[in-house]
Amino acid sequence: MTQETQAQFTPANFKSDQSVRWCPGCGDHAILNTLHKAMSTLGVAPHKTAVISGIGCSSRLPYYMNTYGFHTIHGRAAAIATGFKVANPEMTVWQISGDGDGLAIGGNHFIHAVRRNIDINIILFNNKIYGLTKGQYSPTSDRGFVSKSSPYGTVEDPFIPAELVFGARGNFFARSIDVELATSQEVLVAAARHKGTAVTEILQNCVIFNNGIHNPITDKEVRADKTIHLRHGEKMIFGKNGDKGLVQDGFLLKAVTIGEDGYTLDDVLVHDAHTPSNFLHQQLAMMDGKELPLAVGVIRDVEAPTYDQAVAEQVAEVKGRKNFGSLREMILAGETWEVK
Amino acid sequence: MKYSLSGDFDLQINSLHTLNHLFTTMLENAKVRELDKVVVRFSGDSGDGMQLAGNIFTNVSAGLGNLVSTFPDYPAEIRAPQGSLSGVSGFQVSVGTGVHTPGDSCDVLIAMNPAALKQNYRFLKPGGVIIVDIDSFKEGDLRKALFETDKPFEELGIKAQVVEVPVTSMTRAALADSGLDNKSVLKCRNIFALGLVCWLFDRPMEAALRHLRNKFAKKPAIYEANALVLQAGYNYGNNIHASVSTYRIDTENPRPGVYTDINGNTATAWGLIMASEKCGRPLFLGSYPITPATDILHELAKRKDLGVKAIQMEDEIAGVCSAIGASFAGNLAVTSTSGPGLALKSEGIGLAVIAELPLVVIDVQRGGPSTGLPTKTEQTDLMQALYGRNGESPLAVVAPASPTDCFTMAFEACRIAVEHMTPVILLSDAFIGNGSSAWRVPDADEFPEIKTPYVPAGTEGWRPYDRNAETLARYWAIPGTEGLAHRLGGLEKDATTGSISTDPANHEKMVKLRREKIARIAYDIPALEVIGREDAETLLVGWGGTYGHIRTASEELCREGEKVAMAQFRYINPLPANTGEVLRKYKKVIVAELNTGMFADYLQAKFPEVKIERINKIQGQPFQVSELKERTKEIING
């Protein structure tokens, strides 16, 4: 990508003329703006971009894009995006889903899209609540969560989105927080550049029905200590003073303070997002901000054959081998008889 | 519009001459019977290869210029217990002239074991012949088929001529030096039976061998074994011909052209490919395996050689949704399924209705409700196709009338979908999907170009719900095109701007626009055609795959002096523009269908001035011509 092509587009090129109708203070506004910015740096024209969503607050997003867009039905965005990308592989395809849309009603399509490694960029807006239906627990709500549909608390465990991605043998997983604009832009650009299914989870705040759900991790006062920004090739260091690091502890990870308990900078792990093994990636992605800091940034980014390209290559290969010009030629090459 | 009932739609060999059936026999007191067609039914265990034997016999006969029509009747179980009644698989084929159906009953029944005999002897015509593998009629075999005595023929009260052939031991003898193991040897029994039937009907060995060679192209040893057994079966017939009647079937010249044997599901797949060639958009299939529609997925998966992208998705919903995505992306998009799958796809189809995207949904109907009778035929998805969605959600529905008509109507479904920017449901069924006929390969220019409604070049300020004034169809803006980026969605849109709208008047306007768009398709489809005598007073009406039986019943009734004509609907929504005019001409209008009266209700609601009489059957089986005739006469005289 040359500097010239990157300079072709501005965020405004990706904005539609529709007025944005999310609630004031909703985390979606920040994600939308970041997406406009990220897209403007990719060198991909708006008319070569498609944004496909399911149903939910976040799924209104395509209307705010000056790209090809499709606001579809609940849970099916991944299946629709898959068909779209296979049919028209030249397009850069984004899928917008919330935690309910993507992981509850659309859970099956989500894991199969990841398994196939179709080249789409899934942004998963995780606010741990159903907003558009006014406040029911979602498949990412914590056990015991009280909501309108769980007045006495839920009695079920949530999905950790990253765990589903790794369970489905995903090759790209990144995470950000709605208010961290720079991180969001960084991971969305990385997701777009990755060939294959790229899942980016963004912790999003629903100001009306689940306000502050991520605060224990994302509050300004605690964020530096409760999160770690992973970057490929860099030491896994975090903390307000940049003095904390992640080290290997047997098969597990441990957070230490550099200079204490005999740990030095040399003991701190270096992040390798490109290693094919997902063992460490999964451990990093499962850190939840309690004993270990929640990881943001690109956690896994491994190249693998993509579904859409494999389909196209197989078609080209078989087509080239058989070399039929038309249906009629194909039929005539088979078993026929002529009547004169 | 060229897709008329009297043209290629039927079987393509237009000989009106009566075949000269030479019924030769070496028996004393022989008499020569004049038959206009011969029906053979192969039956055996589902693992006995009866479908293969039947298929080869069909192809060989079609290659000789006979009209053919087949009916594979197989169980839902892949391998039910060997020799059991539930594991019997049958394949019936009719060959001759004037063949529109596989026949109500057969002249020759091949029963490879007692279970097959028990399940199938009732399909034998009076005076027919039964051929059994007598080696498979041992005590244990009889017990598996729940016979109570060791005299199966007496127990069933069979009076027909039974030819007891030691198929198993003759097959073994033929392959004594082949080096094949016992299991492989036994697998060739069906081909011995085929050889015998080929002798019986004077089919040339070379043609049957060619089919076997193709079938076992990758297994030369198996081919060699089957070739030996085929010849052994033929020779056996030759040697015992002193005791069996043989038939020799002559043929007349059919319409010139190149022919192939085709079943309805393959014809459907090929019709889609033809439409893709004629509309200039690549073909995409998103599907999920389901009986009896899966063969469409199989065929299109093979057709990568023609650039088809056929993908197997994770479920039925993903099947239709991937197709909707592909349609938005600019492909000719199709999903294939059967009734339960159509139910799962309903919400997706509604999205295609409101987004006004071209989409073809193929429903190869089977017995329902729920899992129902997965391998049996029925016409019970009509109401689901017409109305099975939330909201005012009109779409086009078409129904092929025969295996070969699946090609034409799949093409038509695509043409309507693209030219009118709408989902179209194609209602095929298990009977025509699995049944096969000889089909003349259409010439390159026989089907019209499809006028794909691209946004006209140079359009300024195009908006996604701008419409063609004549058809009311939106334009198809292909993603990747500069200047046409737009957003679609399941939310109601403003008729003018295409933005989200909750305006009450706009919603009503859009509902009516979508409805009117479908209604106007009536001006873009052929008129309803009536077949039969001019002075008919009774019109026998059918839709979809019952054509062959209704046509035959109508012709036979005419020959018997009844004033009957018939009309088969292939365009269900909208109906042909002349429908009311046609129906009002007749004293009696009888709708015959394989459900409790869905199409009759539909017609009655649209044409209250016409009294619709009904003939219904819901047994998972096609009509029998005889029962259609009987019920029609009752209604005429009633």
Cβ of A324 and B306 within 8 Å?
yes
Q: At what angle do helices B264-279 and B405-420 cross, to 10 degrees?
A: 40
Q: What's the pLDDT at B251?
A: 60
Nearest CA in chain B to A115: B314
Q: Which of B15, B209, B287, B304 to mutate to test the interface with A (most CBs of A within 10 A)?
A: B304
Confidence of residue B75 (pLDDT cuts 50, 70, 90): confident
Q: What's the pLDDT at B11?
A: 33
Say whether A335 sits in a helix, a strand or coil.
Answer: coil
Whole-angstrom Cα distance, residue A123 to residue A93? 11
pLDDT in tens, A7-62: 589 999 999 999 999 999 999 999 999 999 999 999 999 999 999 999 999 999 99
Q: Which of A243, A234, A279, A233 is nearest to A264 (CA)?
A: A243
Assigned token pair, B428:
């095929």
- Tell which B residues from 316 to 335 touch A, by Cβ distance under 8 Å: 317-318, 321-331, 333
Of B100-104, B352-356, B580-584, the range with the lowest mean pLDDT is B100-104
Q: Answer yes or no: are the C-beta atoms of A112 and B322 closer than 8 Å.
A: no
Q: What's the pLDDT at A271?
A: 98
Q: At what angle do helices A77-87 and A307-322 cross, to 10 degrees?
A: 40
Q: Count the residues in chain B.
A: 638
Q: What ipTM was predicted for this assembly?
A: 0.97
What DSSP assignment string belongs to B42-76? EEEETTS-HHHHHHHHHHHHHHTT-EEEEEEE--S
Q: What's the pLDDT at A338?
A: 81
Confidence of residue A214 (pLDDT cuts 50, 70, 90): very high
A338 CB near a chain B CB, below 8 Å? yes
pLDDT in tens, B88-139: 999 999 998 888 899 999 999 999 999 999 999 999 999 889 999 999 999 9
B259 CB near a chain A CB, below 8 Å? yes
Residues of chain B found within 8 Å of residue A340, distances taken between Cβ atoms? 256
Whole-angstrom Cα distance, residue A205 to residue A211? 6
pLDDT in tens, A133-184: 999 999 999 999 999 999 999 999 999 999 999 999 999 999 999 999 999 9
Selecting from A70, A73, A109 the residue whose C-beta is nearest the C-beta of B328 gives A70
Q: Which of B232, A219, B503, A78 is nearest to A227 (CA)?
A: A219
Query: Reading across the β-sheet that carries B423-429, which strands appear in turn?
Result: B309-312, B283-287, B332-337, B359-365, B423-429, B396-398, B571-573
Residues of chain A found within 8 Å of residue B307, distances taken between Cβ atoms? 315, 319
Q: Where are the domains of chain B?
A: 37-246, 260-440, 531-637
Residues of chain B found within 8 Å of residue A46, distances taken between Cβ atoms? 485
Name the CATH code of domain B260-440 (choices 3.40.50.720, 2.40.160.10, 3.30.450.70, 3.40.50.970): 3.40.50.970
What amino acid occupies position B93? Answer: V
Confidence of residue B35 (pLDDT cuts 50, 70, 90): low
Average pLDDT, chain B: 91
Assigned token pair, B163:
């030819």
Q: Write down the architecture of domain A3-213 according to CATH.
A: 3-Layer(aba) Sandwich (3.40)
Residues of chain B found within 8 Å of residue A68, distances taken between Cβ atoms? 328, 479-480, 485-487
Confidence of residue B240 (pLDDT cuts 50, 70, 90): confident
Q: What's the pLDDT at B66?
A: 85
B360 CB near a chain A CB, below 8 Å? no
Q: Where are the domains of chain A?
A: 3-213
Residue B14 has pLDDT above 90, yes or no: no
What amino acid occupies position B27? Answer: L
Q: What are phi and psi of B633, to 5 degrees?
A: -60, -40
3-state secondary structure B246-262: EEEECCCCCCCEEEEEE
Residue A270 has pLDDT above 70, yes or no: yes
The upper half-sphere exposure of residue B483, i.e. CA atoms within 13 Å in the direction of its Cβ, equals: 8
B476 CB near a chain A CB, below 8 Å? no
CATH topology match: B260-440 vs B531-637? yes
Cβ of B325 and A82 within 8 Å?
yes
Selecting from B330, B485, B489 the residue whose C-beta is nearest the C-beta of A47 gives B485
Q: What's the pLDDT at B78?
A: 73
Nearest chain B CA: its distance from A90 CA (Å):
8
Cβ of A340 and B256 within 8 Å?
yes
Confidence of residue B245 (pLDDT cuts 50, 70, 90): low
- Tell which B residues from 387 to 446 touch A, by Cβ distance under 8 Å: 440-444
Nearest CA in chain A to B482: A47
pLDDT in tens, A293-310: 999 999 999 999 999 999
What amino acid occupies position A217? Answer: I
Assigned token pair, A276:
């094919």
Whole-angstrom Cα distance, residue B463 to residue B476? 11
B531-637 — its CATH code? 3.40.50.920
Assigned token pair, B226:
């089957």
Whole-angstrom Cα distance, residue B500 to residue B489? 9
Q: What's the pLDDT at B62?
A: 84
Residues of chain A found within 8 Å of residue B261, distances taken between Cβ atoms? 335
Residue B250 has pLDDT above 80, yes or no: no
* Burial state string for A49-65 with b = 16 or more CB within 10 A and e = fewer than 16: bbbbbbbbbbbbbbbbb
Instruction: Give the angle A91-A94-A99 at the CA atoms, nearest 5°.
Output: 160
Cα-based distances in Å from B559 to B39, B95, B555, B633: 21, 21, 6, 13
pLDDT in tens, B381-437: 999 999 999 999 999 999 999 999 999 999 999 999 999 999 999 999 999 999 988
- Select the more confidently predicted residue: B557 or B438: B557
Nearest chain B CA: its distance from A315 CA (Å):
5
Whole-angstrom Cα distance, residue A338 to residue B257? 6
Residues of chain B found within 8 Å of residue A109, distances taken between Cβ atoms? 314, 317-318, 321
Burial label for B82, CB within 10 Å (0-12, 13-18, 19+), is middle
Cβ atoms < 10 Å from Cβ of A157: 10
B500 CB near a chain A CB, below 8 Å? yes
Nearest chain A CA: its distance from B485 CA (Å):
5
- Select the more confidently predicted residue: A272 or B259: A272
Whole-angstrom Cα distance, residue A136 to residue A150? 7
Cβ of B485 and A328 within 8 Å?
no
Number of helices (H) and strands (E) in chain A: give both, helices first: 12, 14
Residue B311 has pLDDT above 90, yes or no: yes
Burial label for B31, CB within 10 Å (0-12, 13-18, 19+), is exposed
Whole-angstrom Cα distance, residue A72 to residue B350? 10
Residue B10 has pLDDT above 80, yes or no: no
Largest pairwise CA distance in chain B:
88
Residues of chain B found within 8 Å of residue A67, distances taken between Cβ atoms? 485
Fold for domain B37-246? Pyruvate-ferredoxin Oxidoreductase; domain 3 (3.40.920)
Question: Distance between terminal CA atoms of chain B?
Answer: 39
What DSSP assignment string belongs to B133-177? EGGG-SHHHHHHTT-SSS-HHHHHT--SEEEEE-HHHHHHHHTTT
Nearest chain B CA: its distance from A218 CA (Å):
34
Selecting from A81, A91, A340 the residue whose C-beta is nearest the C-beta of B480 gives A91
- Tell which A residues from 264 to 323 touch B, by Cβ distance under 8 Å: 311, 314-315, 318-319, 321-322
A47 CB near a chain B CB, below 8 Å? yes
Q: Which of B315, B321, B354 to mutate to test the interface with A (most CBs of A within 10 A)?
A: B321
Whole-angstrom Cα distance, residue A7 to residue B32? 90
Selecting from B305, B347, B480 the residue whose C-beta is nearest the C-beta of A330 gives B305
Q: What's the pLDDT at A4?
A: 46
* Burial state string for A15-27 with b = 16 or more CB within 10 A and e = fewer than 16: bbeeeeebeeebb
Confidence of residue B249 (pLDDT cuts 50, 70, 90): low
Residue A234 has pLDDT above 90, yes or no: yes
- Tell which A residues from 99 to 138 touch B, by Cβ distance under 8 Å: 108-109, 112
Confidence of residue B255 (pLDDT cuts 50, 70, 90): confident
Whole-angstrom Cα distance, residue A315 to residue A310? 9
Q: Answer yes or no: are the C-beta atoms of B249 and B63 closer than 8 Å.
A: no
Residue B25 has pLDDT above 70, yes or no: no
Selecting from B253, B270, B487 the residue whose C-beta is nearest the C-beta of A63 gives B487
What amino acid occupies position B420? Answer: H
Q: Answer yes or no: are the C-beta atoms of B548 and B585 closer than 8 Å.
A: no
Cβ of A335 and B65 within 8 Å?
no
What is the percent of chain A with per-residue pLDDT over 90, rounded to a whole number? Answer: 96
What is the percent of chain B with per-residue pLDDT over 70, rounded to a whole number? Answer: 92
Assigned token pair, A86:
């296979």
Average pLDDT, chain A: 96
Assigned token pair, B328:
């938005």
Say whether A245 sits in a helix, a strand or coil.
Answer: strand
Query: How many A-B residue pairs are in contact by the CB < 8 A criterion?
Result: 202
A102, containing H or E segment: helix A99-103
